[in-house]
Structure 1
Amino acid sequence: MFLLLFCGLAGAFSQPVHAASKTKPPVTLYLHGAHGTKRSMTPLVKAAQWDTNASVITAKVNHSGQVKFAGHWRASAKQRLVKVVFANNRTRNYDTIATWLHTVLLGLQQNYNVRQFNVVAHSLGNAGLVFYELKYGQDKQLPQLKKYVAIAGNFDGIPGKHRGQHANWLTPSGKPAWLAPDYQFALKHRQAFPRGVKVLNLFGDHHDHQDGKVLNASSQSLGYLLRGRLASYHTHTFYGKHATHSGLRKSWKVADMVDHYLFNS
């Protein structure tokens, strides 16, 4: 299943910078979804900067899978943010995204002495994060995931790829009635996901139990996938005109909940 992409790690990173203090809190990565750009996660990043006196750098991953960091964290910043931008924003190969994320985290570890991290992911970025943890989560030499906020996650089916999946719901056990091939794979390897992560799963019910692109059953299927492995798991459904797939990452209500969960709980 996994397609190992050798991305030339020796030359993949920008020049080393001063190591971060060991007492700093986990850095927080923001992952965009399919067709995302450097602007996709900006509303959430700006909200965090406003709410927490955060400072942000950008991790740009090119088509070869190499990463370059731009910007710097202010020494006085209370939180350190990383906006991750993938030049190839069209792939729907989960393992490819996971490999790119691995390169980003290696760069953060080597250049900034990052040891722990949080993630805020939108849409396809969620699948990349989950498959990253299934592949690398047991490697204790890598930075460790502490908190994870999923927004409009497509864990059990990708719009445009599984168009026949519209009739889907959660059974009483929490297991989806319809299982996408990648979700079946993740279920078989779920024990590789590290224990002790705290998760907040956010999704929108714009109409008919979907956000306009992703069924709520697909987003909610994360709970069944990671059952018994998490330190905590919470969900929240948003309703109304801003509860669309793209609208969720632009909503101040979503941003407020994300920031409170990550930085004040």
Structure 2
Amino acid sequence: MNKKKITLSTAVAIVLVILGVFTYSSHVQAAKSKKYVQESIPTLFFHGYGSSFRAETQMTGASKKAGVTKTIVRVNVSPNGYAKIIGSIPKKAKNPIVEVNYDNSKMTNYHTAGLWAKNVIEALQKDYKFKKVNFVGHSMGNMAINYYILDNYNNKKLPKVNKVVDIAGHFDGIIDVDDEPGDITLAKNGKPTPMNQFYRELLKLREVYPTNTRVLNIFGDKNDGTHSDGAVSNASSQSLRYLVSGRAKSYREKKIVGKMAQHSKLHENKQVDKILINFLWKK
């Protein structure tokens, strides 16, 4: 009889501890979420050349841990551009995050990359209704985003672009491809000289970039005298300003300095996590 009482008491104690932990965790999560806007706007993350959704998981995981959202799904884009959703977004989800994965991550046709971004959005719209969207891009992911905007600015069926975070963008060239440190000079208004062929295409953004969009441009400086992140010169990244200024609702730049400012380390940088979380969702 005493053993039964001890067993019952132990079981009750364990249940109470579990309930206590669950209640505390729920309280902490609720307290965290109060720091951020509670909206139905999805945020889509786009990775760079030769990469995958795994390059996004540091940032998306940090966002979830901060209390921004409870929902992270993935959309996989096949080499022929077919977008398939892995997971589901609840109808009442707040600040859902979408990790976009391009199977053909070495495709360099930026118009095609923009078309695939459109395919991702249209696939999401079938199951989850939204009128606005946020974008986060790293490296070539920025070109997918900006060419999506360039090629679809007059499509009223697509959601309005709310906020964009460009990380390590090579808008006017890549080192050892069509740029070298010190080759690009920026005028006071941010206009670069010289301009490569892709930048000249993007110049149309000065006429069509959405006027209610807020833009944050994050770029890295390894502090080694090259004024670059090792793959992209700061001037190439900063040339984004000339493309969107006068159109975007706001434009901000943030330079990250040091070893973790290297091109491929920027999406693993906790400082970057904090900056983009605050920009996208902080009240």
Q: TM-score, normalised by structure 1?
A: 0.87
Question: Per-residue deviation at 1:78?
Answer: 3.2
Runs of 4+ in 1 over 4 A off after TM superposition: 74-77, 163-166
Q: Is the 8 A contact 1:156 1:219 kept in 2?
A: yes
Q: Is the 8 A contact 2:206 2:245 kept in 1?
A: no
Q: TM-score, normalised by structure 2?
A: 0.81
Question: Is 1:43 matched up with 2:61?
Answer: no
Question: Per-residue deviation at 1:139?
Answer: 1.5
Question: Is 1:54 matched up with 2:39?
Answer: no
Aligned match of 2:42 in 12, 23, 27?
A: 27
Query: 2:131, 2:278 → 1: CA distance?
Result: 22
Aligned-residue CA RMSD (Å): 1.7
Aligned match of 1:109 in 96, 105, 125?
A: 125
Residue 160 and residue 60 in structure 1: after superposition, are their counterparts in 2 closer, same or farther (change >3 A)? farther
Show CA shifts across 1:7-39 (max 9, x none).
xxxxxxxxxxxxxxxx94310000001011121
Which residue of the partner structure matches residue 157 of structure 1?
173
Which residue of the partner structure matches residue 273 of structure 2?
255
Question: Is 1:65 matched up with 2:81?
Answer: yes
Q: Is the 8 A contact 1:57 1:73 kept in 2?
A: yes
Question: Is 1:236 matched up with 2:236?
Answer: no
Q: Any stretches of 5+ residues in structure 1 without a counterpart?
A: 1-22
Query: 1:26, 1:103 → 2: CA distance?
Result: 17
Aligned length: 243
Residue 124 and residue 78 in structure 1: after superposition, are their counterparts in 2 closer, same or farther (change >3 A)? same
Question: Per-residue deviation at 1:53?
Answer: 3.3
My pick for the range that moved more, 148-157 or 131-140, is 131-140
The residue type paired with residue 119 of structure 2 is T
Residue 217 and residue 83 in structure 1: after superposition, are their counterparts in 2 closer, same or farther (change >3 A)? same
Give SS of 2:193's match.
coil
Q: Percent identity?
A: 35
Q: Is the 8 A contact 2:40 2:93 kept in 1?
A: no
Which residue of the partner structure matches residue 93 of structure 1?
109
Residue 165 and residue 146 in structure 1: after superposition, are their counterparts in 2 closer, same or farther (change >3 A)? same
Query: 2:87, 2:201 → 1: CA distance?
Result: 38
Which residue of the partner structure matches residue 196 of structure 1?
212
| More helix as a share of residues | 2
Q: Who wins on radius of gyration, i.e. which is larger? A: 2
Query: 2:204, 2:90 → 1: CA distance?
Result: 43
Query: 1:213, 1:131 → 2: CA distance?
Result: 21
Q: Is the 8 A contact 1:109 1:143 kept in 2?
A: no
Query: 1:103, 1:118 → 2: CA distance?
Result: 16
Query: 1:203, 1:165 → 2: CA distance?
Result: 14
Question: Is 1:223 matched up with 2:241?
Answer: yes
